[in-house]
Amino acid sequence: MKNGIYLVASPIGNMGDISLRALEVLKNAAVIACEDSRIAKKLLSLLAISSSGKIFVIMHDHNEEETAQKVIDLALAGNIVAYISDAGSPLISDPGYKLVRLCRKQNVYLTTVPGSCAAICALQLSGLPSDKFLFAGFIPNKDKARKETLSRYKDVEATLIFYETANRLLKTLSTAADIFGRREMAVAREITKLYEECRAGTAAELAEYYAANPPKGEIVLLVAPPEEKETVDYQAELAVELQKGSLKTAVQKITEKYGLNKNEVYQAALELKNGR
Ligand code: SAM
């Protein structure tokens, strides 16, 4: 096996998902670069690989810049270096990008040992179109940033994939209901683990389900691409609804009926009301 840096994917829940190549690299590596040495040692132990004699270098989001050169130097000194994140594929919402950039500028052997990635597994399970997808990482925690992030990707003609946490899911689904209307979504939870679940529905349906069944564990959230843009001529119907009831009710009825963007319908309703 060549000396150099190996980006090694580890399982996201089921130890059986480690690859034969990953096992070989982890056994032979003199250096394990990792986010957390306790998690890395636990992984090695579950794989029946001894940690003794191996050098562990901690490389995480906050020290990657400084540590990357140290990792490269260890490889250039003739070592096999395995880089593993806490779970899944390195660099995918995990550190490693700066290390790879630095490797590109130096004459160090770099390769990938592929394996589990929650985003890809979720896409496979979701039943949503898999021909084109956009992975957008974690959804921000703050209300304004969350809304901006979901709105930014609204018109992308691909399945959207986000990482999310269990305690934020309901808030996100509520924001998603306003932005995506009746578009199909999916929540993939605890993939490859005992309580694996993948549930599809509109944001409102998923919110109702998870309000009654509080979610636990790790979560990937997916949104179907927008429908082919056939222009829905809802103006006349909206005008009738505005005569029948309040602006809020009219907007809600039309938004839900045609799966439209709430803000767009709201603007149209205001213009109709103001006689424009
Ligand atoms: N690098 C990892 C990968 O390849 O998927 C992702 C690391 S990121 C820090 C962790 C997030 O990935 C979790 O918060 C969750 O959104 C998602 N995730 C990881 N494992 C998962 C699983 N078994 N089921 C569902 N989502 C998972």
96 or 273, greater pLDDT = 96
Mean pLDDT calculated for residue range 103-108 = 94
Q: Cβ(109)–Cβ(137) under 8 Å?
A: no
Compute the distance from residue 185 Cα to the ligand 1 centre, in Å. Answer: 18
| Res. 229 pLDDT band, cuts 50 70 90 | low
Compute the distance from residue 31 Cα to the ligand 1 centre, in Å. Answer: 24
Does residue 230 register a pLDDT over 60?
no
Q: Cβ(2)–Cβ(109) under 8 Å?
A: yes
CA atoms within 13 A of residue 132's CA, in its CB half-sphere: 5
pTM for the model stands at 0.85
Atom of ligand 1 nearest to the CA of 192: 23
Residue 88 DSSP symbol: B
Atom of ligand 1 nearest to the CA of 91: 1
Ligand 1: list residues with CB < 6 Å: 12-13, 85, 87-89, 92-94, 117-119, 163-165, 188-193, 218-220
| Res. 121 pLDDT band, cuts 50 70 90 | very high
Atom of ligand 1 nearest to the CA of 117: 4
DSSP code per residue over 4-40: EEEEE-B-SS-GGG--HHHHHHHHH-SEEEES-HHHH
> What's the pLDDT score for residue 55?
98
Positive/negative CA dihedral, 114, 117, 120, 122: positive
Mean pLDDT calculated for residue range 80-92 = 98
Mean pLDDT calculated for residue range 4-24 = 98
Structure token pair of residue 145: 């940033």
User: For the segment 35-48, what is each residue's pLDDT rounded down to a tens digit?
Assistant: 999 999 999 999 99
> What's the pLDDT score for residue 156?
97
Percent of the chain at pLDDT > 70 equals 99
